[in-house]
Structure 1
Amino acid sequence: MVGLLVGLGWALDAGFPLPPRPQYSPVVAAADGSVLHAFLNPTQKWRMKTELREITPALRRAIIYKEDRYFYYHCGINPLAIVHAAGRNLAGRGRTTGASTITMQVARLLEPKARTWPNKLGEMLRAVQLEMHYSKAEILQLYLNLVPYGGNVEGVKSAALLYFQQPPDYLSLAQTVTLAIIPNRPRALVLGRSNAAILQERNRWLRRFKQAGLFPRQAIADALLEPLDVQRHPAPARAPHLARRLVRQFPGQAIVASTLQRGKQTRAEDLTRNYVRRLHPLGITNAAVLVVNNRTRAVEAYVGSADFTDALSQGQNDGVQAVRSPGSTLKPLLYALAMDKGLVTPKRQLADVPTNFSGYQPENFDRHCQGEVPLDRALAYSLNIPAVRVLAELGVPTFTGKLRAAGFRSVARNDSRLGLSTILGGCGATLEELTTLYVTIARAGQYAPLQWTTAPAARLPTTGSRGEQKAQPAASTPAAPPPARGTTLISAASAFLVTDILAQLTRPDLPVGYETSRHLPKIAWKTGTSYGRRDAWSIGYNQEYTIGVWVGNFSGQGSPALTGADIATPLLFDLFNTLAYNSPNTWFQPPASLDFRLVCTETGLPPGESCPNQLIDYFLPGISTGQRCQHQREALLSADGQVMYCRACAPTAGFRRERYPNLLPEVLAFKEAQGIPYQRLPPHNPACQLVSGARDQAPGITSPLANTEYVLNKGEHQQLLLSCTTGNEVRQVYWYVNDQFLRVAKATERVFFRPPPGPLKISCADDHGRNTDVRVRISEF
């Protein structure tokens, strides 16, 4: 007997192949399983897949009692029902019926055909075949996914969401029975247009169910009193940008289970839309937001634009994936890497003076310099020049290599063309990449990609034996993804130090009005503004969440008001106060790999011989430099203090020792230009015949820029500026053009001259015999 059934099944499969599985409407679900966004299926129908867990006992009992009371007892066809229907039809008594079981209806819905006796026989064969491949639960699931509800609406889940705005397992008994009675008359009973007729039919069936004892009497009584005031609603359309992204990533999958939290997504969308609406008078039309759970790296809110439907502002562009200039948002990574290399510590003094980096002359955002600043202030105040100096010392390849390791795709594509401007936004980055970077800092330097989906959605099986439950029901609340294992991008020590700096409240990028606000969240954050004020960034984090915000225009048009501090940070604070207001009140703790030490306040280095002023600083034992402070150097002076001796020309007696500031030439030039007083060395002994050849103290030519072409207007007699930086002991410099002496000048003097056209060699020698050359080209028009 078993062999006969197996043979029959094989014959049916060979000559009567199973129809293709239904084409469902792609659905993106939230982490709790609710539908965030739904799309039409390829045949332009709303056919959302009803999962097994969504088929409630009430729905199952109502459908089976109404359509096929012997569903669990037959093998696809009900012989008694066929005989009974044939007798009624031949006798012409009552309504003509076809004795279709639920399985036979599934066969017809899978392959719609004209209702003829040959087609009816084909349905019976197909029903037997389906029963051999699917369990009863799966057949009922197929039926509920295919039943028509008028127009282009098919399936219980589609009807429940479009008319009741609830999934099937959230419906009341009255709503459940309403959906159970419509499929037999989808054209006559149209929800929203035939509510009165549907109400009458619903109550009639409720009374029949009462007589059959299908549901408790009180439940029936309550259902009879429930009104039916329903109309069709738009399909769910939350997180439109991420929904399209996931559907493209998982083609053909009926349900994509995202990590988004429905409540957070809704609030983030509303906050962003309302905030950008207030920015329109400033010429700012869009924003993007990404909210990440730091513990799991799961994305819990994703806002690609302020309004997806706003075509004028290009709202369908995805600001989370758009490549933009990151401004200053990469500086925390730079300083963390420099700490890991032992180059700096938080109190290490950095030069913040106009500097020429082989032709590249960066400026601070406010175009002012502060002379020398500690690293923590340079980062908190987002100073540009110190950051470029640190990048020059660290090395661009080292920095861009870490960006590649952190998933910065645009950097990976353009790595060979990137230079020192990278740290000021001279590379491309997305909000997704930047937010991932800050999640990495929040996770003690451990990098791993963000999590977008939970467990994959269950799929209907293609083969199986009768009674097998091949498609497992999804959990009512899908579990969050486990914490992703990462790779070490920066050390836990440098991650903590950067966080400690970014959590300071004494900084210029604190929005106006927030200084004493009780609504200021406890976060570490960094702002950024791209060149031309085209992009405003603000990215913040605590132990629980990282939130990234971009504000700007997709057209690339800038706005004078567009800065990270004034425009992006208020939205960041609103998001933290709304989405993470109940985060645990804990903060990052310093790792065991950190320690304290005393450093000189003048340099931030361990104290040397003459460092009376000291303070406490963090450092990384075994990594941070142990170089002693040399902010002052000893000089040998004549008895009257008018002449300085070098070791070669110092007399045997009649001199004295004094200490003078040991400043960088650039810092000296800055102090001279700003009129800042400092203790300057007296001139070197004029009687000394020794000429110093040290190249490291040679003058640095700051103008003109090396390897640059200058185009001058011939009629306006334009001139070229000559300027340089020198050591503390230099009093005079000598300028040469094409090896021809031009003039002598003070070390800090700005010299102008009329250059001849063509290639030029500009040379500068100081009064110690040290020389520097640059080459430029002069063109005239």
Structure 2
Amino acid sequence: MTVRFALCRGVEVIYLANMKRRTGMRILLGLGLSVLLLLGLDLAFPLPPAPQYSPIVLAADGSVLHANLNPTQKWRMKTELREITPVLRKAILEKEDRWFRWHLGVNPVALVQAAGRNAFGTGRTTGASTITMQVARLLEPKERTFGNKLLEILRATQFELHYSKVEILQLYLNLVPYGGNVEGVKSAALLYFQQTPDYLSLAQTVTLAIIPNRPRGLVLGKNNAAVLQERNRWLRRFGAAGLFPKQDVEDALLEPLDVQRHAAPALAPHLSRRLVRQFPHQAIIRSGLERSKQSKAEDLTRNYVRRLYELGITQAAVLVVNNRTRQVEAYVGSADFRDFGNQGQNDGVVAVRSPGSTLKPFLYALAMDRGLVTPKFLLPDVPTNFQGYRPENFDKHCNGEVTLERALAYSLNIPAVRVLNQLGVPTFTDKLRQAGFQNVTRNRTRLGLSSILGGCGASLEELTNLYVTLADGGRYEKLQLTAPHDSPHSPAPSPRGEGEPDNNGSTESSGSPLSFSGEEGRGGEAPGTALISPSAAFLTTDILAQLTRPDLPLGAASSMRLPKIAWKTGTSYGRRDAWSIGYNKQYTIGVWVGNFSGQGSPALTGSEVATPLLFDLFNALAYNSPNDWYVPPAALDFRLVCAESGLVPSENCPNQVIDYFLPGISSGQRCQHVREVLVSADGAFTYCRACAPAAGYRRELYPNLLPEVVAYKEAQGIPYRRLPVHNPQCQLVRGGLERAPSITSPSANTEYVLNRHEKQQLLLSCTTDNEVRQVSWYVNDQFLRTAAVTERVFVRPTPGTLKISCADDHGRNTDVLVTVTELE
């Protein structure tokens, strides 16, 4: 019996163990199937898309500069995690869902209580919605039915599996309604209290916490008395619950509620629109603008342009850049964004316009780096034909010969074209391309000598950064329009646990510094590209800081508010664009004034229209800049040069001045402003080496002038020491093209269209060596006439290809080919 019982007991134990294993397997299988079912349902019914936020642009200090309606025309500004203060979190959770931290989206106890109240009609009818359930309903609004409530519960559970508690609370605070088209705590805080949520008082925070349950009955600005009464009721309730210190609650109860709806922040509208277009999926864009500077710049620009209306000038644009960081700190695209009549929504910062003379400082700096010029180097400022291009100075007058520093300070056109001709247009445009000039890059092969006088298109942004390069010792970097810590992409919420935000306390990603200059995908260049040397940048700055110059506004020299800056003005052809760009060690400010229609104005010049605004901006924005200035780089040195040429003195240079130069780079050419000539005893004529007698002559020094300078002096009647005629008995024909006449009209390889009925004629003119007295003109190798060097000769040619020849009285000859077409 004992053995039989033991055997039966063993079988029973084995049977029970097998049953437990089978039950365990069934449970595990059931759990697995449930998980698979949930995963399948999760895939089949994905979470609703993230809400569409109102794009906002922040200033450098984090305040909101500009806000835009979202695509559904609602004010729904994204509340960042750092803006959810402990006070706001406590008030919301105490009022809406005190068990939020512990449940999984649904509070079963609250559901049972609500079902009982609703079934028996006792107490307030409620749906027992948790914050998570409210998020589900706000993302997918539906009619309130029992079936939809079940779907809401399922969605809430799904949200809890995907998002952390802090992210669910953030979504709730971004979606709660505040009446009309205002949604979210941040939108309400800005539109009603003009503050972000983290700057609100306890009373203001509680006010925003109580409105979402009754957004139609508690409307701020309309029902302030009812809102105040409800706010105080909840304040007392929170105080009784010990949620906030007693004294804080008492102070909050005394705070008045006199609010109204304000307009959304609207500073920097042009930059905001630009950044929103650049980052269309980013809810919060952090710019580098300084709020106070931006506001002052907009006010100054708007008020200044209003005074110009009677002159036919309606618009202006301003850019303020921090030289050290390359951060744009103020960005004014037009005088008034809302001025539709004058195209105020156009962005003058990026508009491509003629730059006038604003590129000249950069040209001269490049020429210094090539060793072509120094500040005291003399340049001819006389009428000159550069392969068919005849530039004129702004005032239509010439000055003979001028130093480079005077040519730049007085913004003379002819010397600038001469230097560009010597430097080479490709060399100049390649540097502009490296400096980010997009229009120059696109049209580089078609640009010529006129590019230095405004013949190439440029934007205020590009020009201003070129001057930032000068201010920073010739080092080029792209301008920064967004804050250095900002990222161009904003990720979707990730399932981090509560209390695990990123280092910035925000779900926004934190990336590398963003360089953005208006064109997407313009990266790839190494930062800090050296475009010009620090020495050339300093010499250019030293010239631009001089006050003895014609572009100083009338009365500015005697003003106590004249800022210590280096600056350059520019005026485009037809007076359509006025520029003034200046800098000190801290800031560079660029100003454009004109009309977006392209209409010119007689008063539109850089000196009289743009520079006064530039000075006002410096005095307002950089009044507290350190009073330090640039010092010469160690690589720069001094030397004595001839005052007549700016070159290293020779034995015939008694007048010498001190000049800067770049050792090892600047030209060491000796001065040849005079040359030795053999003159007859009576001074009547000169000898060449071949015809000089054995005795009876003397050696004298005569000016060694360029032919165009001689022609200018002759035309203007300016006295100079002119060479006597060459020995008439000399039988040597002195040929050679190095001193041959230069035909200034007509231009070689040019087509001329003449009107037969108007009896139009072709002008013949030339420049020659200063010892030439007369020239002979030929058309198609047929002699036309002899004329004085400076005489203007006219001919009525036959249509077709013509060969125009000019021979001087020393036997030297020059030819040009032209085509003449005759109109009936």
TM-score normalised over the length of structure 1: 0.97
Q: Aligned-pair distance for 1:720?
A: 3.2
Q: 1:754 and 1:663 mapped to 2: Cα distance?
A: 33
- Is 1:671 equivalent to 2:713 in the alignment? yes
Q: 1:592 and 1:13 mapped to 2: Cα distance?
A: 70
CA contact (8 A) 1:602 1:631 kept: yes
Q: Aligned-pair distance for 1:14?
A: 2.7
Q: 2:365 and 2:478 mapped to 1: Cα distance?
A: 20
Q: Aligned-pair distance for 1:6?
A: 7.2
The one-letter amino acid paired with 1:708 is T
- Is 1:18 equivalent to 2:44 in the alignment? no
Q: Aligned-pair distance for 1:704?
A: 2.4
Q: 1:513 and 1:698 mapped to 2: Cα distance?
A: 49
The one-letter amino acid paired with 1:163 is Y
- Is 1:569 equivalent to 2:611 in the alignment? yes
Q: 1:311 and 1:107 mapped to 2: Cα distance?
A: 42
Deviations 1:37-69 (A, max 9, x none): 111112221110000111111111111111111
User: In the alignment, what sits opposite 2:486?
Assistant: 456
Q: Which of 268, 279, 282 is residue 239 of structure 1 equivalent to?
A: 268
Q: From the superposition, tell whether residues 718 and 128 of structure 1 become closer, same or farther in structure 2 (CA, over 3 Å).
A: closer
| Bigger Cα displacement from structure 2, 375-384 vs 6-15 | 6-15
Alignment of 1:67-86 (within 5 A): 67-86=96-115
User: In the alignment, what sits opposite 2:552?
Assistant: 510
Q: Which of 126, 144, 147 is residue 115 of structure 1 equivalent to?
A: 144
Q: Which of 360, 366, 371 is residue 389 of structure 2 equivalent to?
A: 360
Alignment of 1:289-328 (within 5 A): 289-328=318-357
Q: 1:586 and 1:524 mapped to 2: Cα distance?
A: 13
- Is 1:762 equivalent to 2:793 in the alignment? no
CA contact (8 A) 1:163 1:230 kept: yes
What SS is found at the alignment partner of 2:308? Answer: helix
Q: Which of 647, 653, 663 is residue 611 of structure 1 equivalent to?
A: 653
- Is 1:211 equivalent to 2:253 in the alignment? no
Q: From the superposition, tell whether residues 475 and 585 of structure 1 become closer, same or farther in structure 2 (CA, over 3 Å).
A: farther
CA contact (8 A) 1:638 1:645 kept: yes
Q: 2:427 and 2:258 mapped to 1: Cα distance?
A: 65
- Is 1:187 equivalent to 2:213 in the alignment? no
Deviations 1:607-648 (A, max 9, x none): 012000111111111111100000000001112121211111
Q: 1:7 and 1:259 mapped to 2: Cα distance?
A: 49
What SS is found at the alignment partner of 2:341? Answer: coil
User: In the alignment, what sits opposite 1:655?
Assistant: 697
Structure 1's unaligned 5+ residue stretches are none
- Is 1:172 equivalent to 2:214 in the alignment? no
The one-letter amino acid paired with 2:803 is K
Q: 1:316 and 1:443 mapped to 2: Cα distance?
A: 32
CA contact (8 A) 2:576 2:594 kept: yes
Q: From the superposition, tell whether residues 354 and 624 of structure 1 become closer, same or farther in structure 2 (CA, over 3 Å).
A: same
Q: 2:95 and 2:641 mapped to 1: Cα distance?
A: 85
Q: Which of 458, 465, 469 is residue 440 of structure 1 equivalent to?
A: 469
User: In the alignment, what sits opposite 1:586?
Assistant: 628
- Is 1:547 equivalent to 2:589 in the alignment? yes
Q: From the superposition, tell whether residues 144 and 196 of structure 1 become closer, same or farther in structure 2 (CA, over 3 Å).
A: same
The one-letter amino acid paired with 1:347 is K
The one-letter amino acid paired with 1:613 is N
| Bigger Cα displacement from structure 2, 172-181 vs 319-328 | 172-181
Q: 1:406 and 1:549 mapped to 2: Cα distance?
A: 19
Alignment of 1:98-497 (within 5 A): 98-454=127-483, 455-456=485-486, 459=490, 461-464=492-495, 466-467=497-498, 469=500, 473-474=504-505, 485-497=527-539
CA contact (8 A) 1:464 1:470 kept: no
Q: Which of 645, 655, 659 is residue 687 of structure 2 equivalent to?
A: 645
Deviations 1:587-624 (A, max 9, x none): 11211111111100000001012000111111111111
Alignment of 1:50-65 (within 5 A): 50-65=79-94
CA contact (8 A) 1:33 1:476 kept: no
Q: Choose 1 or 2 for highest CA Rg.
A: 2
Q: 1:330 and 1:430 mapped to 2: Cα distance?
A: 12
Q: Aligned-pair distance for 1:9?
A: 6.4
Q: 1:123 and 1:414 mapped to 2: Cα distance?
A: 61
What SS is found at the alignment partner of 1:449? Answer: coil
| Bigger Cα displacement from structure 2, 604-613 vs 207-216 | 207-216
Q: Aligned-pair distance for 1:165?
A: 1.3
User: In the alignment, what sits opposite 1:627?
Assistant: 669
What SS is found at the alignment partner of 1:399? Answer: helix
Q: Aligned-pair distance for 1:473?
A: 4.0
| Bigger Cα displacement from structure 2, 568-577 vs 585-594 | 585-594
The one-letter amino acid paired with 1:558 is G
Structure 2's unaligned 5+ residue stretches are 1-26, 516-525
Alignment of 1:25-36 (within 5 A): 25-36=54-65
Deviations 1:730-771 (A, max 9, x none): 111111122111111222222234333433222110011111
CA contact (8 A) 1:542 1:587 kept: yes
Q: 1:314 and 1:58 mapped to 2: Cα distance?
A: 46
Q: 1:178 and 1:465 mapped to 2: Cα distance?
A: 30
Deviations 1:681-727 (A, max 9, x none): 11111111211222121111122233333344434444433221111
Deviations 1:470-495 (A, max 9, x none): 56545899999699932111111111
Q: 2:527 and 2:583 mapped to 1: Cα distance?
A: 20
CA contact (8 A) 1:529 1:535 kept: yes
TM-score normalised over the length of structure 2: 0.92
Length, aligned pairs only: 781
Q: Aligned-pair distance for 1:459?
A: 4.2
Q: From the superposition, tell whether residues 6 and 515 of structure 1 become closer, same or farther in structure 2 (CA, over 3 Å).
A: farther
CA contact (8 A) 2:60 2:287 kept: yes
The one-letter amino acid paired with 1:568 is A
Q: 1:228 and 1:465 mapped to 2: Cα distance?
A: 38
Q: From the superposition, tell whether residues 6 and 584 of structure 1 become closer, same or farther in structure 2 (CA, over 3 Å).
A: farther
Q: From the superposition, tell whether residues 177 and 704 of structure 1 become closer, same or farther in structure 2 (CA, over 3 Å).
A: same
The one-letter amino acid paired with 1:559 is S
- Is 1:727 equivalent to 2:769 in the alignment? yes
Q: 1:178 and 1:397 mapped to 2: Cα distance?
A: 66
